[in-house]
Chain A
Amino acid sequence: MYTPQTFASILPEILILTIGILILIFEPFWKEEKRRNAGWLTAGGLFIAMTVSLLFARPGEPTSMLGGMIRFDWLGFFFKMLFMFAGAATALLLMDHERAGKRGEAYLLLLASLLGMNLMAVSSNLVMLYLAIETASIPLYILAGFLLDDERSTEAGFKYLLFGAVSSTIMLYGFSLLFGFSGTTDLHEIAAMFTTGSISPVVGFGVLILLMVGLGFKVSIVPFHFWAPDVYQGAPTPVAGFLSTASKAAGFAVVVRLFFAALPDFAPTWTLVFAALSAITMTVGNLLALPQTNIKRLLAYSSISHAGYALIGVVAFSQLGAASVVFYLAAYIFTNLLAFGIVMAFSRITGLEEITDYAGLSRRNPFMALMMLAAFLSLAGMPPFGGFVAKIFVFAAGVQANYIWLVVVGIINSIIGVYYYLNAMKYVYLYRMPNEDEEQHPVPLTRPYALALVVLVIGVILVGTIFAPWFGWSDSGALILFN
């Protein structure tokens, strides 16, 4: 039963756990000022874990592992690599966080959450899925409220916990109904029962709505988005970046697997529901982003709207659609981590988070301004950055599925997006500090930031120009769902 394949299928998780244990062992012995090295350990360890997994634990044909608990396939593997990359970047960004960077718990919680996300991407059993989601979520509740002496952070943590608990309960109710009607927790067996008609479609639709509440919360689609702006604003910035990228992508990984693999027979129903949600999410996210003055809230609403764009690919319900969602998330993870990384690096020096505070940044640190430009233009969907190609792919999938109205809504929203992203860049490039003495106020980058940001900006450009390999990986993931 236990073959080398079994270990390969969970090798990344084993390695993540090892890093966590190493941190637990070493951290107490390090002196206070050296504790931030746990960040190097986390990031370096994740990098090694990614390399090792890529070399030795690549999946072949999709197979069920560990008694059908998980699925070992490309879709899950590609998502895992993305999460681990996001985790490594977040660890680097955490290192010089004033109050969180020197505490080993932060990295440990990050790794624990990462472990959960990795399992979310591969779960093919309801019990496993629920466990994975909770493993990913609970550390994030703590991380969001990590700054105990900061009211906003405490509020963020508590708010995230409450919203998360309620929505996961509703989702659990959906799971229990599914189990009650089918008598099994295996996703593929449930799918087969829907196909043969042993479960009535009415039940299917009801369960669908319940599941959507829980997953909608994770990926922050309207109307389950209310937590996002407050939590992003209050949580430590790197954690907010992690929440808006890896956590959201993990939600999408479950959405894609659950709806494409387990509920394909309800496709006409749920694609319509998702189309409506997508249109509302894009529009509400973008419209509410317009009046924001705080950069983290702006990014929060923008990340809501990006969940809407990615949903277009889910709505398309085709191989291209699934591939475009995965591609979109890859591009989005690079881009948004870059954006949050810059917000973090800037507020570390200045302590400021209003958009107006960014005035004169292009003179204070021209390279940081350029990287911010790359991030924001990518979010706006401009080439040669990842966001452009990603958007075209989801739009192409939408047009192919004849959802032209949805694509038109998406396009109108991209136009709104261009407006507010460029508006923020106006402060960076055009406006100056009150006394026009930017040279006296440099914004230096420490080594972990410089490393993380440069890697991310290269990633954003690579995804946007040499997109064939990325699309190839996304596509081989999507292929599994349609075979």
Chain B
Amino acid sequence: MNFPILSIITFLPFVAGAIILLMPAERKNETRAVALAAATLDLLLSGWVYLQYLTQGLAGYQFLEQYNWLPQLGITLSFGVDGMSAPLVLLTGIVMFTGVLISWGDDDKHVMAGIQDRPREFFAFLFLLAGGVFGVFVSLDLFMLFFFYEIAVFPMYLLIAIWGWVKTREYAAMKLTLYLFIGSVVALVGALAMYWTQYQNTGVLSFDMLRLENAGFSVAFQNIWFLPVFLGFAVLGGIWPFHNWSPDGHVAAPTAVSMFHAGVLMKLGAFAALRVGVMLLPEGAKTWSPLIMGFAAIAVVYGAYIAFVQTDLKYMIGFSSVSHMGLVMLGISTLNQTGLTGAGVQMFSHGVMTALFFAVTGMIYDRAHTRMIPELGGMAKIMPFAAIGFIIGGLVSMGMPLFSGFVAEFPIFMGVWREQWLVAVIASISIVITAAYIMMNIRKVFFSPMPENLEGHVGDITVLDKVAIVTLCLFMIGIGWFPALMVPMVETGVENIMRLLGGA
């Protein structure tokens, strides 16, 4: 592959963001159009990469690009995707596209949907975030991974603090930023330790992760550094007991940012924990996997339980994200083929699902001006489209067969069972709780009688919103019906991880 498609995917959002910033502030609709065009292009490109990988039956790292960035220290700008990251690149494209649609906003109508205040800055920061996310998923160089990781973290502060929910935005934004920054710098020390140890072992200065995989770190070294590195990244994956920032952040963020945050950013944490923690320090992973499994199991059950008792729709989804990301961590902690495959698919499935949840919640909030579940009702009559979308998301969330959630969760539980059947039993409690709260909330929000104060002034969603919902649902149903669209691909990525785990 000579065509630098991954660089284009990664740098397109930065370029688009810069162009948007240079547009006059009053031209709001032109700003949005440019944003949508860039997001569409990025979705198409990432979809093309995914399809190429799938249809050609590729394995290992593909679409490789490498540029020497700082040869003296062995920093390269090297990009490539494997079976694990290609679905996540596609996911980012999807969320970016739908996120722009949802934030379109409308200056004329009385509904306060989307982003009206300074859309220029909003889209620029959102694209900065998106570019950072793409960068992490495709980077094969540890230094560049950190570089993009930090780029993906700090725009969150601005996006939440400026356009977020007035009541909690300052607190939530600062909390989120500090949590994530602490996590990443802790991981950074581990990464630097790896870098120098690699240098001592091989005499080559390099941040290249493919090289670091074979650096021959001693078991003692791996045992020391695995936890800081893994947990440092896993903070962003919402692992218990460091999940606390996440629901607050979800709730305070504007809709598109919640979608990005839960849909993509949390995957960023899990993915980086897997790529840097497990793959570079496999012996450490073996030592500590019971602890990670314990944390994850607690997150799964505890998250579901807390979600059950929430009365704020966004908090409910926020905690359900903690629970579902717990499943990803659970899958990773099994360190076996089945569990890891499930974790890979779950990252994609949950990303799409939770983006859909937040999108629909945002649509409801913009029109009803409340997110409190007891104050809502009868939405199915007014916005049937949103209702159907939410129900499909709910079915995915419950892990129903024929939806992507099943394809993801079933292998995770199988994988866990093989390692520690008791954990599988405990974690499976969450399925029951999830089903309970999802169904209760669907009944209350969409099908109970509409409260009087909402009667009359709540309108239907826009066409753009519908396009976003359809896009997201298509992927969830598609994977559910045809697991072959994703599972074999993820398996090729898992094989690589298994090789590292077995060979080390």
Contact = CB atoms under 8 A, between A and B. Distances in A.
B72 A472 contact: yes
A320 B195 CA distance: 14
A236 B88 CA distance: 52
B500 interface: no
Nearest to B132: A383
B189 A430 contact: no
B147 A388 contact: yes
A388 B188 CA distance: 12
A422 B174 contact: yes
Interface string B50-77: 0000000000000000001111110000
Contacts of A377: 154
B70 A468 contact: yes
A419 interface: yes
B230 interface: no
B265 to A, nearest CB: 16
B188 A395 contact: yes
Given A383-B147, A422-B157, A468-B71, A415 B182 contact: yes
A392 B141 CA distance: 15
A27 interface: no
Contact of A471 (B70, B121, B185): B70
A388 B149 CA distance: 12
Contacts of B185: 411, 414-415
A392 B143 contact: yes
Contact of A426 (B121, B150, B161, B186): B161
Interface string B449-482: 0000000000000000000000000000000000
Interface string A258-269: 000000000000
Contacts of B181: 414-415, 418
Interface string A457-470: 00000000001100
Interface in A126-180: none
A382 interface: yes
A411 B188 contact: yes
Interface string B170-211: 100010011001100110110011011000000000000000
A429 B70 contact: no
A185 to B, nearest CB: 35
Instruction: Tell which of B68, B121, B154, B193 has the most Cβ of chain A within 10 Å.
Output: B154
Nearest to A469: B70
Contacts of A422: 157, 174, 177
Interface string A405-436: 00110010011001100110110011000000
A113 interface: no
Given A411-B185, A471-B73, A382 B150 contact: yes
B90 interface: no
Contacts of A395: 188-189, 192
B72 A392 contact: no
B143 A419 contact: no
A475 interface: yes
B128 to A, nearest CB: 9
B162 A429 contact: yes
B189 A404 contact: yes
B178 A399 contact: no
A430 B170 CA distance: 9
A396 interface: yes
B146 to A, nearest CB: 7
Contacts of A373: 158
B171 to A, nearest CB: 11
A411 B150 contact: no
B232 to A, nearest CB: 11
B277 to A, nearest CB: 18
Contact of B121 (A366, A383, A407, A467): A366
B151 interface: yes
Instruction: Tell which of B151, B157, B185 has the most Cβ of chain A within 10 Å.
Output: B185
A330 to B, nearest CB: 14
A323 to B, nearest CB: 8
A422 B155 CA distance: 11
Contacts of B188: 392, 395, 411
Contact of B150 (A388, A407, A430): A388
B170 A426 contact: yes
Interface in B16-42: 21, 25
Nearest to B14: A384
A377 to B, nearest CB: 6
A429 B189 contact: no
A204 B120 CA distance: 60
A200 interface: no
Nearest to A474: B72
Contacts of B118: 362-363, 366
Contact of A362 (B121, B170, B174): B121
A81 B69 CA distance: 23
Nearest to B131: A384
B70 A467 contact: yes
Interface in B131-151: 143, 146-148, 150-151
A475 B75 CA distance: 15
B154 A382 contact: yes
A471 B73 CA distance: 10
A142 to B, nearest CB: 40
Contacts of B170: 426, 430
A384 B147 contact: yes
A129 to B, nearest CB: 30
Contacts of B121: 362, 366
A370 interface: yes
Contacts of A399: 189, 192-193, 195-196
Instruction: Tell which of A399, A411, A475 has the most Cβ of chain B within 10 Å.
Output: A399
Contacts of A407: 189, 192
A400 interface: yes
Given A395-B192, A396-B192, A415-B185, A384 B151 contact: yes
A228 B71 CA distance: 38
Nearest to A466: B69
A426 B15 CA distance: 25
Contacts of A392: 143, 146, 188, 192
Interface string B112-124: 0000001011000
A392 B69 CA distance: 15
Nearest to A425: B158
A282 to B, nearest CB: 14
Contacts of B73: 320, 393, 396, 471
Contacts of B154: 377, 382
Given A414-B185, A415-B182, A426-B161, A383 B150 contact: yes
Contact of A411 (B162, B189, B195): B189
B72 A430 contact: no
Nearest to A373: B158
Given A414-B185, A429-B162, A475-B72, A400 B196 contact: yes
17 contacts: A366-B120, A373-B158, A382-B150, A383-B147, A384-B151, A396-B73, A396-B196, A407-B189, A418-B177, A418-B178, A419-B174, A423-B174, A425-B158, A426-B170, A430-B169, A468-B68, A468-B69
Across chains A and B, which 3 residue pairs bring their CB atoms closest together, nearest first?
A: A399-B192, A411-B185, A468-B70
Interface of B: 21, 25, 68-73, 118, 120-121, 143, 146-148, 150-151, 153-154, 157-158, 161-162, 169-170, 174, 177-178, 181-182, 185-186, 188-189, 192-193, 195-196
Given A383-B150, A392-B188, A471-B72, 10 more contacts: A366-B120, A383-B151, A396-B73, A396-B192, A414-B185, A415-B182, A418-B177, A430-B170, A468-B71, A475-B72
